[in-house]
């Protein structure tokens, strides 16, 4: 199956599915927020508002119209990137997301980079000698990394690196001094990247040091996952005949491990990391709150507590789109790595 | 691989060479607040954003607390003096000369007129304070005349923390959007340098400020909004923050023990109580209400749960505010008496079943309701706890008193310093239910409140006497169980001097008052 279809058709079909999923998610989030017991007009009008004000807000928000009309106006605005005004911050939600999403992406990208740079090589080394000391140690490491709760690790890291050693900053994206005297010009919204682009070395150093602890905390689970997935996937590949052949030909074992075996073992690892990426996007909230990282997770948590339903809808939608896009990219990468995989 | 390695090496080298930002000669003050600010528009803001506004803008009149619990007084702000007409229907303000807004516009009577009219036009949550103002006229640049429809204490109202800030007329038709983009146009000692909603606000000294700066004055103030209480504490104790609100009650002792930080407490005009449903049995009966008020474990709430950070309330007007009666009846827990009162009221044993509503997610009402339930159980009264969202709680209470809750727990604070906002808003008879959620109707009480309100503008002493009498009557008639008066508690770095919290402007650090 699939061979009779061109790659382009496949991608189009996949995109069609993606659109369908997004529409479904938008309908579900829309309905869910309408079923909440709180009256959005009263929330919008603010505390101690008069009945007239609340009625005015209802008309202003279009809440007096039938549900179907409300959904289409919501969907139409969302397509144009307009998610309305947050009840809580009184700011346009699109500008809030533009401000908070890059910070989370910076954190999640860094965590993923750490997972790939640490988890995969360790997994390969562990697979080189199954049952060896390295294998046993990394197994223990991976399990503890994946099982220890991130908020606990975060606080322990703060205790060690801020309170005892005083090597790394406690929280935030940059220090007050940098903010005041070497401000990083916002370009992408990712502190470290913007500092590099703006050649602000003092700012870069500061932003990088601020990024270390939260990124490390967030990366523990993906590192453990990547390590174990690589290890077990490598275990299967290493038993393949072509590996034995390569060994017999006297090719160095490092070369075999990293060049021949890893390429074939990478597919499941990528899939899992793709899923983890999307999960971390909203799952970063605990880390964001503890490190006061101005990301989308902390933003949506505050919104949930305040029943700020336009924000909840907007973030759910944006999260869904990012999730689907990342998984599409992972699938495409799979296809490139392994010619047997087709995009179904 | 080699390329990557050399790139990493280059980055590390850069990091080692670029020295961290060195200590600057600027005097920087960092404050940590809990939730983010919502609305920086001085005419409509109705919440903790006054932390920023009170440093960037000024009112005509400030309210100043008295020393050692004495009644507070009004002191000049942008007005230097004020005078009512004989009938109390006109107030004339003399304005401070030589003051300019940060945008260069001079401050004068036109600016006063503009500010009041802007607050009225935008109808923010607190704009009602100006309800009696019919017009503001400007006979000369330094005289503003308020013409009223009803005699009302305009200087006191002008000291409000909300909707009373003077804003530059050059603002014109601009709305909240302009202010929330980080713009400002006030006369205060500080300017808004940058504003990231929900995250951080940076203020810097206004070098053109008309007033004086203290010795060791603050140059720059960085206000961070941090949601996590543990992190707020860490920042304070780790020297990353000079001042913090929202510290956890259980940790205050430990924070105070830190050699660089102390915990400071001030009166706050906010209190916490449970309103009895006096519109239906059994709480329409005074003896039942008294029984329930004798049953509450006040000591446990004040000393154990709130760790002594609050004081037990005496009536509805908080201590320190004119109209608070120091000799009003205060209930203490007496279960035997409560039981006897129930029997006297003809309530059969184990026959009473009541519900209490409170806002879900806030810890104090939850704990208060739990200990109340336990205490009531011991006198044979069953209490059902109903935590709900504020909107749902309020909707239930305002729908139909006959089917509404029996006890409604809530916090209350005034818009400006007047006990009228406690006595009239909460207990004066209402035709349609607004905030009198006890559904209390007592003509004698209403008459006292009205007498106090009538003389508020012209005779402060007799007005306060009427309010005190109303407070006493209310405390004895027990239409609510009055629980505690809140205190404001802040963690402050020891090298910050002269920090004083003003209960009329809670959350505010007056940046031109403190020094280092």
HEC profile for B59-91?
CCEEEECCHHHCCCEEEECCEEEEEECCCCCEE
Among the ranges given (A42-56, A308-322, B30-44, B381-395), the one the predictor scored with the smallest mean pLDDT? A42-56
Contact A292 B220 (CB under 8 A): no
The pLDDT confidence band at residue B113, using thresholds 50, 70 and 90, is very high
Q: What are the helix (H) ranges across chain A?
A: 7-34, 40-45, 51-60, 67-79, 93-114, 120-128, 133-147, 150-158, 176-181, 191-197, 201-237, 241-248, 253-255, 262-283, 285-290, 296-305, 309-337
pLDDT of A344 over the 50 cut: no
The pLDDT confidence band at residue B72, using thresholds 50, 70 and 90, is confident
* Residue, of B339 and A39, whose pLDDT is higher: B339
What is the pLDDT at residue B14? 59
| CA distance, residue B351 to nearest chain A CA (Å) | 32
**ipTM more than 0.95?**
no
pLDDT of B191 over the 90 cut: yes
What is the pLDDT at residue B372? 96
A185 close to B (CB below 8 A): no
Contact A302 B228 (CB under 8 A): no
Tens digits of residue pLDDT in B328-347: 999 999 999 999 999 999 99
Tens digits of residue pLDDT in B422-443: 999 899 998 888 889 999 999 9
What is the pLDDT at residue A2? 42
A 213-252 residues with CB < 8 A to B: none
Contact A171 B392 (CB under 8 A): no
Contact B234 A171 (CB under 8 A): yes
SS (H, E, C) B186-206: CCCCEEEEEEECCCEEEEEEC
pLDDT of B289 over the 70 cut: yes
Measured CA distances, B104 to B206, B341, B462 (Å): 12, 68, 44
pLDDT of B27 over the 70 cut: yes
Closest Cα in chain A to B126: A48
Identify all chain B residues contacting A39, using CB atoms and an 8 Å cutoff.
391, 395
pLDDT of B4 over the 50 cut: yes
The pLDDT confidence band at residue A1, using thresholds 50, 70 and 90, is very low
What average pLDDT does range B137-145 have in this prediction? 96
Among the ranges given (B67-71, B300-304, B444-448), the one the predictor scored with the smallest mean pLDDT? B67-71
B 383-442 residues with CB < 8 A to A: 388-389, 391-392, 395
Q: Count of A–B CB contacts within 8 Å?
A: 114
Contact B199 A294 (CB under 8 A): yes
What is the pLDDT at residue A276? 86
Q: Nearest Cβ partner of B20 from A53, A180, A206?
A: A206
Contact A290 B222 (CB under 8 A): no
pLDDT of A284 over the 70 cut: yes
- Rounded CA separation B235/B109 (Å): 44
What's the alpha-carbon Rg for chain A, to the nearest Å? 24
Q: Mutation target for A interface from B231, B360, B416: give the one with most A CBs within 10 A.
A: B231
Identify all chain A residues contacting B234, using CB atoms and an 8 Å cutoff.
158, 162-163, 170-171
What is the pLDDT at residue B407? 97
The pLDDT confidence band at residue A63, using thresholds 50, 70 and 90, is confident
- Rounded CA separation B213/B66 (Å): 23
Tens digits of residue pLDDT in B372-411: 999 999 999 999 999 887 777 888 898 889 999 999 999 8
What is the pLDDT at residue B325? 93
* Residue, of B445 and A299, whose pLDDT is higher: B445
* Contact of B315 with B331, CB cutoff 8 Å: no
The pLDDT confidence band at residue A121, using thresholds 50, 70 and 90, is very high
pLDDT of A315 over the 60 cut: yes
What is the pLDDT at residue A307? 74
Q: Mutation target for A interface from B196, B234, B386, B412: give the one with most A CBs within 10 A.
A: B234
B18 close to A (CB below 8 A): yes
What is the pLDDT at residue B18? 54
Q: Nearest Cβ partner of A88 from B38, B46, B240?
A: B38
The pLDDT confidence band at residue B447, using thresholds 50, 70 and 90, is very high
What average pLDDT does range A49-63 have in this prediction? 77
Name the DSSP letter for residue A83.
-
B224 close to A (CB below 8 A): yes
pLDDT of A35 over the 80 cut: no
Q: Nearest Cβ partner of B46 from A46, A158, A171?
A: A46
Tokens in use for B332?
């203490």
Element (H, E) at B426: helix B420-427
Tokens in use for A30?
């829309």
The per-residue pLDDT of chain A, averaged, comes to 84
Q: Mutation target for B interface from A171, A208, A299: give the one with most B CBs within 10 A.
A: A171
Q: What is the largest CA-CA distance in chain A?
A: 85
Tens digits of residue pLDDT in B227-273: 788 889 989 998 999 999 988 888 888 999 999 999 998 888 889 99
Q: Nearest Cβ partner of B21 from A155, A178, A289?
A: A178
Q: What residues are paired with B136 via a beta bridge?
A: B146
Pick the closest to residue B122 from B110, B134, B114, B132 (CA basis): B114
The pLDDT confidence band at residue A294, using thresholds 50, 70 and 90, is confident
What average pLDDT does range B457-473 have in this prediction? 91
- Rounded CA separation B498/A151 (Å): 37
B5 close to A (CB below 8 A): no
* Contact of A223 with A119, CB cutoff 8 Å: yes
Percent of chain A scored above 90 by pLDDT? 21
What is the pLDDT at residue A272? 87
What average pLDDT does range B95-115 have in this prediction? 96
Closest Cα in chain A to B124: A49
A 82-141 residues with CB < 8 A to B: 88-91, 96, 99
What average pLDDT does range B19-35 have in this prediction? 76
The pLDDT confidence band at residue B278, using thresholds 50, 70 and 90, is very high
* Contact of A169 with A209, CB cutoff 8 Å: yes
What is the pLDDT at residue B21? 47
The pLDDT confidence band at residue B171, using thresholds 50, 70 and 90, is very high
The per-residue pLDDT of chain B, averaged, comes to 90
pLDDT of B3 over the 80 cut: no
A266 close to B (CB below 8 A): no
Catalogue the E-assigned strands of B285-370. 311-312, 352-359
B8 close to A (CB below 8 A): no
Contact B222 A179 (CB under 8 A): yes
Residue keyed to tokens 């007496």: B334
B163 close to A (CB below 8 A): no
Q: Which residues contact A140 (CB under 8 A, 6 or more apart)?
A: none
Pick the closest to residue B42 from B22, B59, B62, B60 (CA basis): B59
């Amino acid at each position: 199956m699939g061979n009779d279809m061109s790659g382009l058709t496949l991608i189009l079909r996949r995109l069609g599915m993606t659109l369908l999923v997004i529409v479904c998610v938008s309908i579900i989030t829309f309905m869910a927020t309408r079923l909440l017991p709180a009256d959005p007009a009263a929330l919008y009008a603010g505390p101690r508002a008069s009945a007239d004000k609340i009625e005015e807000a209802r008309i202003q928000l279009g809440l007096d119209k039938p549900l179907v009309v409300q959904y289409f106006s919501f969907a139409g605005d969302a397509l144009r990137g307009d998610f309305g005004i947050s009840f809580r911050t009184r700011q346009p939600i699109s500008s809030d997301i533009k401000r908070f999403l890059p910070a989370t992406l910076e954190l999640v990208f860094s965590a993923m980079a750490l997972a790939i740079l640490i988890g995969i090589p360790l997994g390969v080394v562990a697979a080189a000698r199954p049952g060896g000391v390295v294998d046993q140690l990394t197994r223990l490491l991976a399990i503890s990394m994946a099982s220890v709760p991130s908020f606990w690790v975060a606080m322990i890291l703060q205790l060690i690196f801020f309170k005892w050693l005083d090597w790394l900053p406690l929280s935030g994206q940059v220090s007050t001094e940098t903010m005041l005297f070497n401000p990083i010009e916002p370009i992408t919204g990712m502190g470290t990247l913007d500092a590099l682009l703006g050649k602000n070395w003092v700012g870069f150093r500061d932003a990088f040091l601020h990024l270390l602890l939260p990124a490390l905390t967030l990366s523990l689970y993906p590192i453990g996952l990547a390590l174990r997935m690589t290890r077990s996937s490598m275990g299967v590949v290493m038993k393949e005949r072509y590996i034995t052949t390569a060994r017999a030909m006297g090719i160095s074992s490092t070369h075999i491990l990293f060049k021949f075996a890893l390429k074939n073992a990478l597919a499941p690892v990528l899939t899992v990391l793709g899923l983890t990426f999307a999960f971390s996007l909203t799952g970063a909230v605990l880390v964001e709150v503890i490190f006061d990282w101005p990301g989308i997770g902390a933003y949506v948590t505050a919104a949930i507590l305040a029943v700020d339903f336009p924000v909840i809808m907007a973030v759910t939608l944006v999260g869904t789109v990012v999730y689907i896009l990342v998984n599409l990219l992972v699938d495409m990468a799979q296809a490139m790595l392994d010619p047997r995989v087709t995009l179904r | 691989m080699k390329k990557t390695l050399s790139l990493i090496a280059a980055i590390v080298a850069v990091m080692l060479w670029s020295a961290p930002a060195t200590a600057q000669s600027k005097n920087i003050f960092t404050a940590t607040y809990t939730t983010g600010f919502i609305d920086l528009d001085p005419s409509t803001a109705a919440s903790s954003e006054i932390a920023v506004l009170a440093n960037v803008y000024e009112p005509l009149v400030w309210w100043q607390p008295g020393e050692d619990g004495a009644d507070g007084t009004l002191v000049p702000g942008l007005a230097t003096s004020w005078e009512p007409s004989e009938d109390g229907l006109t107030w004339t303000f003399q304005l401070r000369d030589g003051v300019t807004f940060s945008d260069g516009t001079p401050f004068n009577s036109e600016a006063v007129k503009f500010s009041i009219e802007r607050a009225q036009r935008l109808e923010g949550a607190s704009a009602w304070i100006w309800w009696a103002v019919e017009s503001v006229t400007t006979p000369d640049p330094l005289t503003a005349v308020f013409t009223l429809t009803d005699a009302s204490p305009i200087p006191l109202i002008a000291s409000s923390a909300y909707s009373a800030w003077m804003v530059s007329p050059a603002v014109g038709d601009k709305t909240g959007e302009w202010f929330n983009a980080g713009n400002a146009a006030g006369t205060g000692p500080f300017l808004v340098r940058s504003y990231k909603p929900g995250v951080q606000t940076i203020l810097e000294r206004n070098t053109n400020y008309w007033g004086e700066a203290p010795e060791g004055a603050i140059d720059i103030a960085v206000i961070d909004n941090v949601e996590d209480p543990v992190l707020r504490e860490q920042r304070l104790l780790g020297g990353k923050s000079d001042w913090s609100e929202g510290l956890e009650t259980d940790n205050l002792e430990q924070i105070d023990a830190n050699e660089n930080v102390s915990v400071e407490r001030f009166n706050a005009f906010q209190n916490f109580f449970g309103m009895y449903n006096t519109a239906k049995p059994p709480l329409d009966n005074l003896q039942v209400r008294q029984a329930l008020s004798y049953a509450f474990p006040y000591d446990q709430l004040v000393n154990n749960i709130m760790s002594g950070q609050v004081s037990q309330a005496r009536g509805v007007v908080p201590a320190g505010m004119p109209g608070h009666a120091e000799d009003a009846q205060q209930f203490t827990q007496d279960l035997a008496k409560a039981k006897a009162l129930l029997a006297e009221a003809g309530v059969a044993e184990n026959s009473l079943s009541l519900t209490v509503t409170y806002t879900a997610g806030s810890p104090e009402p939850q704990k208060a309701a739990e200990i109340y339930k336990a205490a009531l159980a011991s006198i044979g009264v069953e209490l059902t706890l109903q935590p709900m969202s504020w909107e749902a709680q309020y909707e239930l209470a305002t729908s139909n008193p006959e089917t509404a809750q029996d006890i409604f727990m809530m916090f209350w604070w005034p818009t400006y310093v007047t006990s009228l906002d406690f006595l009239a808003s909460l207990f004066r008879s209402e035709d349609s239910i607004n905030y009198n959620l006890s559904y209390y109707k007592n003509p004698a009480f209403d008459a006292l409140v009205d007498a106090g309100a009538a003389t508020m503008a012209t005779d402060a002493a007799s007005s306060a006497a009427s309010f005190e009498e109303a407070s006493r009557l209310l405390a004895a008639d027990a239409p609510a169980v009055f629980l505690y008066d809140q205190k404001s508690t802040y963690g402050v770095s020891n090298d910050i001097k002269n920090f004083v919290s003003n209960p009329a402007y809670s959350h505010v650090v007056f940046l031109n008052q403190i020094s280092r």
